[in-house]
Amino acid sequence: MVVTIIGAGMMGSALAFPAAENGHEVRLVGSPLDDDIIDACTATGRHPKFERDFPKGVKYYKVGDWRKAVEGCDFVIGGVSSFGVDWFGDEILANLNPSIPVLSVTKGLINLEDGTLISYPDYWRKNLLAKGIDRHICAVGGSCTSYELVFKDHTAVTYCGAKSADLKLIKEAMSAPYYHISLTNDVIGLESAVALKNAYALAVAMTIGLVYRNHGKDAGLHYNSQSSVFGQAAREMARFIAIQGGTQESLNVGIADLYVTIYGGRTRKVGILLGEGKSCKEALEILAGETLESLVVVRRVAKAIYRKAELGEVSLSDFPLLCHANEVIENGKDAELPWESFTYDYTE
Amino acid sequence: MVVTIIGAGMMGSALAFPAAENGHEVRLVGSPLDDDIIDACTATGRHPKFERDFPKGVKYYKVGDWRKAVEGCDFVIGGVSSFGVDWFGDEILANLNPSIPVLSVTKGLINLEDGTLISYPDYWRKNLLAKGIDRHICAVGGSCTSYELVFKDHTAVTYCGAKSADLKLIKEAMSAPYYHISLTNDVIGLESAVALKNAYALAVAMTIGLVYRNHGKDAGLHYNSQSSVFGQAAREMARFIAIQGGTQESLNVGIADLYVTIYGGRTRKVGILLGEGKSCKEALEILAGETLESLVVVRRVAKAIYRKAELGEVSLSDFPLLCHANEVIENGKDAELPWESFTYDYTE
Tell me: the pLDDT tens digits for A133-183? 999 999 999 999 999 999 999 999 999 999 999 999 999 999 999 999 999
Q: Which residues contact residue B308 at a Cβ distance below 8 angstroms, ignoring those fewer than 6 apart? A: B115, B243, B314
For the CA atoms of B77, B81, B85, B89, the dihedral, rounded to the nearest 10 degrees, stands at: -20
Q: How far apart are CA B189 and CA B181, in angstroms?
A: 17
Give residue A184's pLDDT band: very low, low, confident or very high (50, 70, 90): very high
Q: Which of B149, B155, B146, B142 is nearest to B49 (CA)?
A: B146
Q: Which residues contact residue A64 at a Cβ distance below 8 angstroms, ignoring those fewer than 6 apart? A: none
Q: Which pLDDT does position B280 carry in this prediction?
A: 93
What is the H or E stretch that residue A29 is in?
strand A25-29
Segment 22-51 of chain B within 8 Å of chain A by CB: none
Kindly report the nearest CA distance between residue B274 and chain A, in angstroms: 17
Q: Which pLDDT does position B314 carry in this prediction?
A: 93
Give residue A82's pLDDT band: very low, low, confident or very high (50, 70, 90): confident
- Identify the segments of chain B with pLDDT beneath 70: none
Segment 171-190 of chain A within 8 Å of chain B by CB: 180-186
Q: Please indicate if any CB of chain B lies within 8 Å of the CB of A341.
A: no
Q: How far apart are CA B52 and CA B17, in angstroms?
A: 10
Determine the residue type at A205.
A
CB pair distance less than 8 Å for B228 and A256? yes
For A181, phi then psi, to 5°, come to: -115, 125
Q: How far apart are CA B318 and CA A16, in angstroms?
A: 32
Chain A CA closest to residue B254:
A231
Chain A CA closest to residue B339:
A180
Q: Which pLDDT does position B226 carry in this prediction?
A: 95
Choose the closest CB to B228 out of A156, A223, A339: A156
Q: Please indicate if any CB of chain A lies within 8 Å of the CB of B156.
A: yes
Tell me: the pLDDT tens digits for A226-261? 999 999 999 999 999 999 999 999 999 999 999 988
Choose the closest CB to B256 out of A185, A231, A346: A231
Choose the closest CB to A339 out of B180, B183, B343: B180
**B149 contacts in chain A (CB < 8 Å):** 224
End-to-end distance of chain A based on CA atoms, in angstroms?
59
What is the H or E stretch that residue B168 is in?
helix B164-174
Residue A293 has pLDDT above 90, yes or no: no
**A185 contacts in chain B (CB < 8 Å):** 346-348
- Which residue(s) pair with B75 in the sheet? B3
Q: How far apart are CA A224 and CA A282, in angstroms?
A: 28
Instruction: List the alpha helices (DSSP H) in B245-342.
Output: 248-261, 265-276, 280-286, 293-310, 320-331
**A168 contacts in chain B (CB < 8 Å):** 347
Q: How far apart are CA B162 and CA B138, in angstroms?
A: 7
Give residue A118's pLDDT band: very low, low, confident or very high (50, 70, 90): very high
Crossing angle (nearest 10°) for helices B293-310 and B223-244: 50
DSSP B88: I
Q: Which pLDDT does position B292 carry in this prediction?
A: 78
Q: Which pLDDT does position B82 carry in this prediction?
A: 87
Tell me: the pLDDT tens digits for A90-112? 999 999 999 999 999 999 999 99
What's the gap between Cα A230 and its chain centre? Answer: 19
Give residue A285's pLDDT band: very low, low, confident or very high (50, 70, 90): very high
Kindly report the nearest CA distance between residue A65 and chain B, in angstroms: 34
Strand, helix or coil at A181? Answer: strand
**B232 contacts in chain A (CB < 8 Å):** 156
Q: Which of B20, B22, B25, B32 is nearest to B1 (CA)?
A: B25
Q: What is the pTM of this model?
A: 0.95
Residue A64 has pLDDT above 90, yes or no: yes
Rg value, chain B, Cα? 21
Q: Which pLDDT does position B339 carry in this prediction?
A: 97
CB pair distance less than 8 Å for A255 and B257? no
Check: CB of residue A136 under 8 Å from CB of residue A166: yes
Q: Which pLDDT does position A188 carry in this prediction?
A: 96
Q: Which of B88, B90, B22, B83 is nearest to B57 (CA)?
A: B22
Q: What's the mean per-residue pLDDT of chain A?
A: 95
Q: How far apart are CA B320 and CA B302, in angstroms?
A: 10
CB pair distance less than 8 Å for A257 and B144? no
Q: Please indicate if any CB of chain B lies within 8 Å of the CB of A113.
A: no
CB pair distance less than 8 Å for A343 and B253? no
Q: Which pLDDT does position B49 carry in this prediction?
A: 95
Q: Which pLDDT does position B115 carry in this prediction?
A: 85
Tell me: the pLDDT tens digits for B272-329? 999 999 999 999 999 987 777 888 889 999 999 999 999 999 999 999 999 999 999 9
Q: Please indicate if any CB of chain B lies within 8 Å of the CB of A343.
A: yes
Kindly report the nearest CA distance between residue B245 and chain A, in angstroms: 15
**A184 contacts in chain B (CB < 8 Å):** 344, 346-347
Q: Which pLDDT does position B263 carry in this prediction?
A: 83
ipTM of the complex: 0.94
Q: Please indicate if any CB of chain B lies within 8 Å of the CB of A250.
A: no
What is the H or E stretch that residue A251 is in?
helix A248-262
Measuring CA to CA, how many Å separate B58 from each of A57, A144, A219, B2, B74? 74, 51, 27, 10, 15
- Which residue(s) pair with B159 in the sheet? B140, B183
